[in-house]
Structure 1
């Protein structure tokens, strides 16, 4: 290999996505790379230019990406050494949507897409990186007012749930494609495509795919005069068509399109061309799905400048949850994704408040409590939070508290605009009671736990489910230390918490019928939150404190952990874990359907199968109740 190519390979291996390739692979790529010298202000490509056959990496200097809107140039991004740009030709056929210009004398490497494509098709990490970079370079498809695609990649790679989600994330696609028989005349097919505003038609026999004809075929084969418009469509179709099963994931679909260099995939009953057509997936479907990818959403959250922008992202999370549930993605997985995104929104809301108010006068922690503290917030329910700031000198206390109270007011106000309602019980950091110093919080937890009866009017068990959303981890750890110090040999506290957990009304009557609401606006509906989910949540919290399990707040995860900690009762715990997911799914579907908290289920709208499924999910609760009674020797309930 020549020394220039060797030097280029050495350079690339330091940067994503090239760091996911072997040095041998990079060496192959490096030999086909062109080195482009750009003088200051030289334009490499601009809006509406035809796509190049390469994408680019900055080797030195700075390249700016910009768009012109309303006769004004808007800077979208600055690409510095190691940044990739111009990857549109990988994923789209339309022209460039931004301008790339050298801000100073720069050197860029042009990497031919034909050389690089095979490495993408065989490497999910590289694909994910390019997909995410492209998705954030694409205009937000839902935000029609925002004509400028400000959401461009800053090459920060979200490592959390990304790879897993790419393979879980399903696609929405066209389930009623145009279908024609092989003998149909091209002119008629073209007219049909035009009337239906579709850019493709499937050629099939007995509803099984033989091939596909697209706009591209019409342009390259008919418009050029190679074939007359009167021939049968089978003469110009692309065949065989690439087929997939209907639960294909985003990443799998993208890999197949890259591998076979096609723009459409045909969805069939069993994923082969010998079974019934169910629909067609286009490149555009992939771009739309990618815009709701968690990694992309989190990047966009980090750059949001207002509650309005954050609200649009939260709306997209609702779409993602809806699609995921419809496609039967495991609820436990959806909890993980949703909680990461909710957490990022809360964090950004705090950051925006700090940007307005100026730097905090002391270190602090913003803790989410309740459902978000347990990573169980799929619906837009109310917000629960506390703010803890580090201890400061007595003469500074008032000013410091005043700052954090303003910060909390501003943050909860932002979250309300995004769609998280204010907590009706006032369990929020914007309440003077729940915004105080670490010492005050330690006293608070001490009081609750050492004398729970005295403080029963104030104690709320949700304060024992918390997760740090912003700030100092050490502050959260200090609260956990106090909680777990106080649980030791504290039968009074467990007696109180145990009775509280068992105080909820039973979900089923003696005759195994649902106990529904007797009166009010939800008459004859089933309160799935209070009667079904809360006993499981309260029971799991009680046992987690008893077993001194730190750091696991999610109800489902807690029950799974109990099965390991207390194997004698593992069957009860595992049944409760499963029941919790089933009940959560019922509540989420109800909430999404009615755009509310999903608390009250209209049993008349459920099928017989669903009613039985719901009833079966309530059965483990009786065993859990008996277990709690015997473990904590609880005999009386008030």
Structure 2
């Protein structure tokens, strides 16, 4: 008997959730296991039957879980060795939602619920395993992808240097609570004397109620007062930085930190309610952050903003990738990760623009006054380019009078080419389709860009819809974003005139095949260089980006490009589907993380991965991300009348 118990325990300890058990608990479970031999064709339990007092683990053989629907039997899962199934006896004791059919002679371990319930209550990892929907056929809570994200972290053994763990909202925020303030009428000399006396680098201007109205720093005194030879009796109100950006301390570290990164703040003022209409209660300085963070986003961005050397820029971007890997391994929120990497990429682009304009200044001095903006497209336009994958970008400039048209086209093409070369030198890959600012087709005045989008909307051919999937996610990196805003307004005017464009876009959004095959296995490439690999981008990520883009366009949403933020916002617009949109956003975050992790470890784009290389939990988590895709496609099919539209 002991030999059998030892063999059962040895098998179970290699499969979750039993791998999370202490030795004593594992042996206790193994002693209670009932071993079942099931012949091919046998039914272990039927859909609708009351749950048995056991749940099951497949030791050998093959069992499929089938749902009987009005359309006929649909296979929901094919159980593999070590899979746990029939868990409704354990979770709520409800009738079975699926039927288990034995496909080939199988050996099954039946585990009594009674012995396992105590473990479920006391072991957080075991409880999370079921809450995250990792058990086979656990369709009732399979969509709770936020639990799946949480599980990824808990099921890992975190090790190594944790000095980069600075994003958590539980992190201690270093705040100066004794903030130096002065009235708006204070002379700058007196303000400087107060700063020297208190040995601080800033002073906050407040009104009679103590509300912050401006801030003055050491640098401001040098640049705005001394360098300009102003009278030292000048009021601080005339030289302070205003309006001020404020937050409240309870916003959490990641929010406060990202605010400083995005706005390039050296000091962030904290107030009671987070607005400039309440009293000052604290101040965060970048100096304190730099001292404690080492290789942090703020340090990397600071380094990029203070160098024009391409070799140095490349090294800093390499360091950003090391930081990215650490964040991914330690389950940092993807909202934070994508925001940080976007800021780093944006600074590189802004520096590239600065270097390129300076290079062309002497030859094209008359072009300085022409407004333009650099557009990031595709994944960078959506703030999702974690890896240095293909560049997709363009230049949009204002229309000029006839005598300057040719010269302007020449200048902006040279500018776009110079910017592209700098980005390539920083390690980004060129776009195979040449959708870059070095291609004259994508360096155009506003009128031509309006014409492009009008043509794509009015005549949505397959080629036009392919362009839409790249160009409709544009984002201005500056310097004149108002041009991009005018283009956006034009696009919505055109869509209003031809609503049927959205039907074509919907049809295109449903063109990607379902990620799961007939037998509910992950669909892999059948031939070619990536044979037996799963295409994360085309089969899982693109369907979600296409669906999110379609739905925000249908609601005329402006200014939200990121896919998971689009789903988050759609949930507020359509409360009936808020849970589905939440799950779709979580699914996309999980897929982004998987792709980035795969790419960093393999030194490539991370687009293709081998499902067999994934652990059981990772593979199940990947499958769980497909469920929102199917549901959203069904909604779009009905909403845009695609059955009728395609006839």
Matched, 1:412 2:412: no
Map of 2:530 onto structure 1: 522
Structure 1 position 610 matched with structure 2 position 618: yes
1:338 aligns with 2:522: no
1:576-628 CA distances to partner (integer Å, 9 max, x unpaired)?
01111111111111011111110001212211011111111111110011011
Deviations 1:107-127 (A, max 9, x none): xxxxxxxxxxxxxxxx999x9
Alignment partner of 1:158 out of 248, 264, 269: 264
CA distance in 1 between counterparts of 2:265 and 2:220 reads 25
- Deviation digits for residues 530-551 of structure 1 (CA, Å, limit 9, x no counterpart): 1000000010001110011100
* Whole-angstrom distance in 1 between the partners of 2:434 and 2:477: 19
String of CA shifts for 1:15-59, please: whole Å, max 9, x gaps: 964437999xxxxxxxxxxxxxxxxxxxxxxxxxxxxxxxx9799
Q: Quick one: structure 1 residues 607 and 10, their matched pair in 2 at CA, closer, same or farther if it must change by over 3 Å?
A: same
- Provide, for residues 389-421 of structure 1, a one-character-per-residue CA deviation record: whole Å limited to 9, x for no partner: 111111210011000000111111111111111
Q: Distance in 2 between matches of 1:339 and 1:161?
A: 22
- The answer on whether the counterparts of 1:58 and 1:80 sit within 8 Å (CA) in structure 2 is no
Give structure 2 stretches of 5+ with no counterpart: 1-188, 208-216, 228-248, 271-283
Q: Which one of 615, 630, 634 corresponds to residue 626 of structure 1?
A: 634
CA–CA distance in 1 between the matches of 2:220 and 2:326?
Answer: 41
Closer, same or farther: CA 516–566 of 1 in aligned 2, 3 Å: same
Q: Of residues 450, 454, 466 in structure 2, which corresponds to 1:446?
A: 454
**Distance of aligned partners of 1:447 and 1:12 in 2 relative to their CA distance in 1, 3 Å threshold:** farther
Query: Conserved in 2, the CA contact under 8 Å of 1:291 and 1:297?
Result: no
Displacement of 1:14 in angstroms is: 11
* In the alignment, structure 1 residue 468 sits paired with structure 2 residue 476: yes
**Structure 1: gaps spanning 5 or more residues:** 24-55, 63-77, 83-122, 133-154, 165-250, 256-285
CA, structure 1 residues 390+79, in 2 after alignment: closer, same or farther (shift >3 Å)? closer
| Equivalence map 1:85-484=2 (5 Å) | 158-159=264-265, 290-358=293-361, 359=365, 360-361=367-368, 362-453=370-461, 456=464, 459-484=467-492
Relative contact order (alpha carbons < 8 A, sep ≥ 6): 1 or 2 greater?
A: 2
- The alignment status of 1:561 with 2:564, answered yes or no, reads no
Q: Secondary structure at the match of 1:366?
A: strand
Q: Secondary structure at the match of 2:566?
A: helix
TM-score by length of 2: 0.57
More moved, 565-574 vs 337-346? 565-574
Change (3 A) 1:12 1:58: farther
> 1:447 touches 1:455 (CA, 8 Å); kept in 2?
no
- Give the aligned partner of residue 560 of structure 2: 552
Question: For 1:344 and 1:57, how far apart are their aligned partners in 2?
Answer: 24
Aligned equivalents of 2:198, 2:374: Cα separation in 1: 36
| Cross-structure match for 2:203 | 19
TM-score normalised to the size of structure 1? 0.58
Q: Distance in 2 between matches of 1:316 and 1:162?
A: 26
Q: How far apart are the structure 2 equivalents of 1:294 and 1:330?
A: 15
Between the aligned partners of 2:206 and 2:443, the Cα distance in structure 1 is 52
Root-mean-square deviation (CA, aligned residues, Å) is 3.9
Q: By how many angstroms is 1:321 displaced?
A: 1.0
